[in-house]
Structure 1
Amino acid sequence: MLDRSTTTMSYHASRRDPETGPPQYRTRTVFEDATPEMVRDFFWDDDFRPKWDNKLAYSSTIEECLTTGNMVVHWIRKFPFFCSDREYIIGRRIWESGRSYYCVTKGVSAPIPRQDEPKRVDLYFSSWFIRAVESGKNDGQLTACEVLLFHYEDMGIPYEIAKLGVRQGMWGVVKKIEPSLRAYQKARFLGEPISRPAYMAHINTKVNPELVQAIKVAPDSTETDKTAIASKPAVGIFPKVLLVGGAIVLACSLNRGLLSKAVIVSAAGRLADMRKKMTRTRTDEDLVNA
């Protein structure tokens, strides 16, 4: 869909259209001279987000857990004039494994009455894997930060129209992220206090990196078949880290039910099914090209 870069950022976006359900997007962004922790806070910071995401009209925290970092947030996003705005109730949580961060967000239910407008979006999944990577300067230093995003949602409009809107507006949004991140870095360097959402990003579940490796190599036979599938090598546009991320979530207890195990099993299963379909597609292409 899109492949752009600047001197301090690179961005690549892909889309796949499943047989049923909304379009699914995978993006890879690399920021030079940024730490995973700073980027994690930046994307979690709903107070700062309107400075680069002008579609976010309103945000508030419904519920939070100071033990796990679980949050339920309420968003209202602006849509074009021919659509009503959209309302989101989002559960979110972060897992850390050796300074790599699995940031999971998903539409959940909450005791907030529905209204005719804004229209509520129930099917929503948007998650990041954030880690340090080698700089594009080829100096061997892990001074850049990679962000892998997997996202889909049913906005309640025809999928073809939604795809057109995303394609037309994607770079306009993305190009605002990098200068906003630099402003965010500068503010933190100057000692500005962090917001409550950014503070909550510091409360996360620690996962031993050895557990991550164990999940990749030999998943526990007591887990679901979905976990076993997720541990196999990934191909195509859906990277292995996202499948492993689903397995990590399965391996951890989820307090207070903000993101239920059933939800994460389902998400990990969908990722694994995508991987299998991509494998078949790649094989068919190889046969055609042979």
Structure 2
Amino acid sequence: KTLEQAVVAPLRDFFGRNNAWLILLLIVLYKLGDAFAMSLTTTFLIRGVGFDAGEVGVVNKTLGLLATIVGALYGGILMQRLSLFRALLIFGILQGASNAGYWLLSITDKHLYSMGAAVFFENLCGGMGTSAFVALLMTLCNKSFSATQFALLSALSAVGRVYVGPVAGWFVEAHGWSTFYLFSVAAAVPGLILLLVCRQTLEYTRVNDNFISRTEYPAGYAFAMWTLAAGVSLLAVWLLLLTMDALDLTHFSFLPALLEVGVLVALSGVVLGGLLDYLALRKTHLT
């Protein structure tokens, strides 16, 4: 395949939909609360609660893995009876609420059974959410470009998991474990709100096996795309200069500022695109 067929055409197809930017935000935010809770689980159980490493290894890794598998399988069974939207909504609420188990651990006395219950329930609900989330990614892929689009969306879904770690560590240092896990519950809410906003188009795609093309605000979308491209370019330059700095080839004092500007510009493009999607959806009459 040519570069046009393998990369450009799938991206053009995806960003030609009337909810593309909202979908990108949904993919990043849907499991954000779960990502926050899981990012520091081992550290919390050992340093925050006081369990020893052996206990945490057996319960958190072994029981947690089993619960995730059971949750994914059970979620798949339930999805045979639920629409994609209802599954995403119910499982999303459960995976967000399950983080409260760690909050209870942070404010109660240490007990092995309470740790096991919190770990099992959180991973069970997380597995259910993952099963619905994978079904969402598959639904969003055009059959003509399924490989490229699934790879793009899967990679994008990892953004939250990768970058919450440093933020989570800072949050715990500043506010403590109990507030952190309450925040992880709240962090699940934006994804659920975006899911509600995207409900009509998701149901349309499920029923009609087709996507709604974008017809509104072409100039605004072009500006959003160029803004995102500019932000990504700044981040690429930052990464290159950071690598050179790490190799002691040269030193740049402006790297932190460049990172902040790149992130701000990229986020501005995504938020603008999401806002235009929302306005376009309000003008769309689905049949």
Same fold (TM over 0.5): no
Greater share of helix residues, 1 or 2?
2
Larger Rg: 2
TM-score class normalised by the smaller sequence? under 0.3
State TM-score, norm by structure 1. Answer: 0.25
Compute the TM-score of the two structures, normalised by the length of structure 2.
0.25
Q: Which has the higher strand share?
A: 1
Instruction: Identify which of structures 1 and 2 has the higher relative contact order when contacts are C-alpha pairs closer than 8 Å and 6+ apart.
Output: 2
